[in-house]
Amino acid sequence: MAERVLITGAVRTPIGKYIGSLKEVEAYKLGAIVLNEAVARSKITPQKVDEVIFGQAYQNGESVNVARMSLLAAGWPVEIPGITLDRRCLSGLDSIFTGLVKIQSGYADVVAAGGVESMSRTEFYIPGEFMKWGMGGKKDPKWGLMPRGHGALPMWGLPFFDRIQRARVMSQPIERFGELNSMMSWAEAAARQEKISRQDADEWAVRSHRRAVAAMDQGRFDGEIIAVPTPVRKNKDLVFEKDETPRPDISLEKLAGLSTVYEDGICTAGNSSTENDGAAAVVIMSEKNAADLNAEPLAELISFGLAASDPRLTYPAVPAAVDKALKKAGLTLDDMDLIEIQEAFAAQVLADTKMMNLKESDLEAKVNVNGSGISLGHPIAATGTMRLVTLVHEMKRQQAEYGLVAICGGGGQGIAAVVKV
C-alpha cells in the first residue's frame, strides 16, 4: 500500500491583474515568497526540503528554471535542487503530483511544490530561425566569446511574437490540427457541442464574480494569502495583499453589452478568464515524516488523474481526468463535499459540469463556491496550486471531508486531484 502523503503548508500570493500591481515583481521573487511562507506554516526549516518542483508555462530568459531560482532567492541552502515543469495550465497541480510520486517511491521525504506565473513580464521574442543564423562569432568585451548564432541582436524591423499569444497557436502542431489562434476557439466548440448559450455563460460569470467578492468581503481568503511587497518608488514598498480582478460592480446587463470575440460565438472578455500574475506553493511529506517533524497536516492527497483529448476541443479531458482520479480513490462525485473546476471560460466549465452529470443542486452548493478563473484570474501555471490551496482552506472552514480540483489546459489535457481533510 502506498504511503499516505500529507499537505502541511499551503499558501498563495494575491492574484495580480495583467500589467497590474505585480508587474514589477520578477517571477522567481514571487516563488521565493510562497516557498518561505509554506515552509514556515509547516513549522519546518528549508533544510528539511529534499526538492522544489514548480510549474511555469511562460519561462523566459530572465527567470530560467524558476524553481531553482526561487529557492535560491528565498535564501535556501544551495544543496537543494529545483526543477520546473510545463504542462500549461495543469502545471501547478502536476508539480504536486510529481512530488507525491517522488515521496511514495522513496526518492524524497519532503517536497515543496507549486506554480509561478508572471504574465505581465512574459517576453516578446524573435524565433531563432528568422534571424539567428550568421549572428555572433566575435568576442564581446563584457560577455566574452560569442559563438556563431549568439550575441546581442539589434532591431532590424522584424516583427516580434508575443510569447503568450504564440503559445496558444503552438500548443499543438498546425500541420495536424490547423491553426488554433486562441484557446477560446475550443471554448466556442464546447458551447456549440454542449448547447451552451451566451446567457448561460454570462450568468456563470456573474456568479463567479459575486462569489469571489463575497469571499473577499468575508475574509475567506485571508488565511491562504501572503502579501507581496511591490516597488513604488526608491526605498519604499507598497504591500499588495488582495486579489485584484474580482468585480463588485458586475451585472448581467453590463456583460450583455460586451461584444463576442468571434462573430458567431458566445465568448466575451467578461465570461472568460484573464491573464494574471501570482504564485502558490505547498509543502508535502509522508505521514511518518509529518509525525517525526511535528508538522500538522492540512489535508491528505488521495489521488490524481491525468487525461488528454483532441486539442481542438480540450474540455472533455477534464471529466476524463476526474473519472480517473475518482476511480483511483474508490470514490464518486457524490462523495465530494466541495469541487473546484477551473474557469478558463464559462462555456468550458459549463460543458465540463454537463459531461460530469453534476446536479443543479451540486453546482450551487459545491462547485467554485469562492469564484474561480473568471473572477479571480488565471496565472497559468500557478492556477492549479492556487485552486488547491483555496479548496483545502475552504474545506477546513466548512469541516468538509473530501474535495476535488480539476484543471483543463492548452494542447488538450486535463488533470484532477482528490483531497481529504
To the query of whether residue 408 is one of the catalytic residues in this protein, the response is yes
Catalytic residue of the set 209, 267, 378, 393: 378
| Closest alpha carbon to 70 in 299, 382, 289 | 382
Question: Around Cβ 16, how many Cβ atoms within 10 Å?
Answer: 26
Rounded CA separation 87/93 (Å): 9
| Closest alpha carbon to 372 in 224, 254, 195, 245 | 245
- Contact residues for 129 (Cβ-Cβ < 8 A; gap 6+): none
Rounded CA separation 377/373 (Å): 4
Rounded CA separation 385/53 (Å): 12
Rounded CA separation 176/301 (Å): 37
Query: Where are any strands of DSSP class E within 61-187?
Result: 82-85, 110-118, 124-125, 138-140, 144-146, 161-162
Determine the straight-line distance between the first and last CA of the chain, rounded to whole angstroms. 20
To the query of whether residue 267 is one of the catalytic residues in this protein, the response is no
Rounded CA separation 373/379 (Å): 9
To the query of whether residue 378 is one of the catalytic residues in this protein, the response is yes
Rounded CA separation 240/14 (Å): 7
Question: Around Cβ 383, how many Cβ atoms within 10 Å?
Answer: 33
Rounded CA separation 316/412 (Å): 8
Catalytic residue of the set 209, 267, 393, 408: 408
- Pick left, alpha or beta for residue 144 (phi over 0 → left; psi -120 to 50 → alpha; otherwise beta): left
Catalytic residue of the set 89, 209, 267, 393: 89
Question: Around Cβ 81, how many Cβ atoms within 10 Å?
Answer: 14
Would strands 110-118 and 51-55 be described as parallel, antiparallel, or unpaired?
parallel
Q: Which residues pair with 282 in a beta bridge?
A: 10, 113
Catalytic residues: 89, 378, 408
